[in-house]
Amino acid sequence: MLQSICKKKERLIVGLMSGSSADGIDAALVKVSGSGKSTSIQTIAHDTLRFSGKIRELILKCSHPDTGRVDDICRLNSLLGELFAQAVIHIAKKADYELSQIDLIGSHGQTIHHLPSPEKISGVEVTSTLQIGEPSIIVERTGITTIADFRPRDMAAGGQGAPLVSYVDYLLFSHPEKSRVALNIGGIANITVLPAGSPAEEVLAMDTGPGNILLDQLIYMITGGKNRYDLDGKRASRGKVDQRILERLLEHPFLQKPPPKSTGREDFGEAYLHWIMEMGKGTEWDNLITTLAEFTVRTIVNSLEMFVFPYHEIDELIVSGGGVRNFYIWHRLEESLPQQRMLISDDFSIPSDAKEAVAFAILANETLMGHEGNLPRATGARHRVILGKIIPGKNI
């Protein structure tokens, strides 16, 4: 079983990602050659299929302890399985491939709950996470062998189940002579530190703080929902940094915490933005926007200066995520990091806004080939493990 897919020199793999913001499904069709450190990829097509308002509501309802009922979760698991299957069919069609030409699917699933801190239940200590979107349905509708549900295996080994993308950074970006940092500026910004020639065991990763999460929320709020982000960072480029507010923001306790560390909506969500807006009363919107963009820049630069540069001379930064298109952030990073060359992940065939979907295609390839896919210094796991669950398709 699985031998015919394993033996191929090149595999066509669809990666599927559906983030905790429950906006929609990111799908990427990737041509993957080799595996492990000899992996090379070419992204053939990618797209986002937005969820309808009704489905997004159902996901958020199922995610919350007060409203997440077992019968709704049971149904939503199947419903999302159907939608993930449709995303595969869509991306294949868009790229003009037949489903029968695709070898493998890697599906992250939709996180509806994540409890990485140990709790005692009936005398047994557990950590837990719940990703849904039934992969059996993806397999039935497409015929394609699917690997799904990557996080629980890392958590079983003592990890936080995140970040998993760091291993993909290691595979694609680490270099025998150049020391690099992979920087992803999504809602939250994170870095993967890749010293020249270091083995997987030594790769460090951490969240640095907010990426676009505060900026996007503010824009959404002040445009009454008309805009979802500051296009090209135009407003940020127009305003001026309010130093008083910025200094206060830089006092956030997360920023001083030593790695490994991760953060999210609980630290930099709506409550935090409201506190900022309270503090920034009377400040022009554009100035507040610029201040938040600068906050993102400074938390990234400070993390590098505190936790990375003292130990490694970094030659290059490879940047991905929506923040890449914010020119204010990009230029300020360039200014602040004169010693480093800044590259965009697109140069490595990873579209900066489809990085996670591409990453789960590559993680599926690693599991298929029997390779471990987590990094202990990124997730905190005790050791490396093969991630995911394999559901055999017609093409085994």
The footprint of a copy of itself (CB under 8 A) covers: 1-3, 6, 52, 54-55, 58, 62-66, 68-71, 73-79, 81-83, 112-115, 119, 121-122, 124, 126-130, 134-137, 139-141, 148-149, 152-153, 155-157, 367-370, 385-386, 388-392, 396
Q: Pick the closer one to a copy of itself by CB: 122 or 339.
A: 122
Q: At 63, which amino acid appears? A: S
Q: Pick the closer one to a copy of itself by CB: 205 or 387.
A: 387
Residue whose C-alpha is closest to residue 131's, from 49, 85, 46, 73: 73
Distance CA 305, CA 299 (A): 10
- Shortest distance, position 27 Cβ to a copy of itself, whole Å: 17
Q: Pick the closer one to a copy of itself by CB: 117 or 339.
A: 117
Distance CA 190, CA 184 (A): 5
* Pairing mode of beta strands 146-148, 104-121: parallel
- Shortest distance, position 63 Cβ to a copy of itself, whole Å: 6
110 has which bridge partners? 18, 132
- Shortest distance, position 206 Cβ to a copy of itself, whole Å: 24
Q: Pick the closer one to a copy of itself by CB: 153 or 261.
A: 153
Q: At 113, which amino acid appears? A: H
- Shortest distance, position 84 Cβ to a copy of itself, whole Å: 12
- Shortest distance, position 85 Cβ to a copy of itself, whole Å: 9
* Pairing mode of beta strands 316-320, 180-185: parallel
DSSP reduced 3-state for 42 = strand
- Shortest distance, position 79 Cβ to a copy of itself, whole Å: 5
Q: Pick the closer one to a copy of itself by CB: 139 or 276.
A: 139
Residue whose C-alpha is closest to residue 144's, from 105, 172, 91: 105
Distance CA 315, CA 41 (A): 23
Q: Pick the closer one to a copy of itself by CB: 83 or 288.
A: 83
Which residue has 């709020």 as its token pair?
Answer: 221
